[in-house]
Amino acid sequence: MNGQIIPTRNLIWTAGVKPATIEGMEDAISDRGRIKVNEYNQVLSYSNIYAIGDVAEMVTDQFPKGYPMLAPVAVQQGQQLGKNFIRKAKDSSMQPFKYLDKGTMATIGRNRAVADIGQLHLKGFFAWLAWMFVHLMTLVGYRNKAVVLVNWIYNYFTYDKALRLIIKRGNNKEEYYQETADME
């Protein structure tokens, strides 16, 4: 930082899994490296600073080490915080965050996955199908769902493990075109 002051009413800062150290806020960082927040996602000791998602550590009786670092937690926190900002703007009281655990799924390979949905515990092929179904349903738009499903089916039967990396080539265009020609 260069010390420049920018007048603003709001600041939205996105970070990764671990918060950056912010001068003056050392007391708000837990021993686990997450920012301690209350039930409204306010950083402890601050009324106008909020944290959600992986960086936020909201301790509850059910989650004594804070909520799990999962996307559904962050999404639900973001939705609740948005509603609370609207409530606050209307001089209404904010509502505390309560996580609704819809289950946990993970794919660990071809025909292999695990899924815990309430009392239902799946593993193997059926968990893998459930994982695929849930992920397809979360995509926006029929076309996106259809394209992903067709790609999955194609990859399943062809064992196509195409490299899905985005890499930056050098600035030398001749070198890039020569590498491209060599690959063909």
Least confident of 16-25, 98-107, 111-120, 169-178: 169-178
Does 91 map to a domain? yes
Distances from the Cα of 156 to the Cαs of 73, 74, 152, 153, 168, in angstroms?
31, 31, 6, 5, 29
Among 42-51, 82-91, 166-175, name the one with the lowest average pLDDT.
Answer: 166-175
Cα(19)–Cα(150) distance, rounded to whole angstroms? Answer: 39
What is the number of other CB atoms lying within 10 angstroms of the CB of residue 67? 25
Q: Note whether residue 54 is domain-resident.
A: yes
Give residue 92's domain range.
8-101
pLDDT tens, position by position, 13-48: 776 667 777 777 777 888 788 889 999 999 998 888
Q: How many domains does the chain have?
A: 1
List strand residue ranges (DSSP E) for 43-101, in order: 56-57
pTM score, two decimals?
Answer: 0.67
Q: Which residues pair with 29 in a beta bridge?
A: 35
CATH number of the domain bearing residue 14: 3.50.50.60
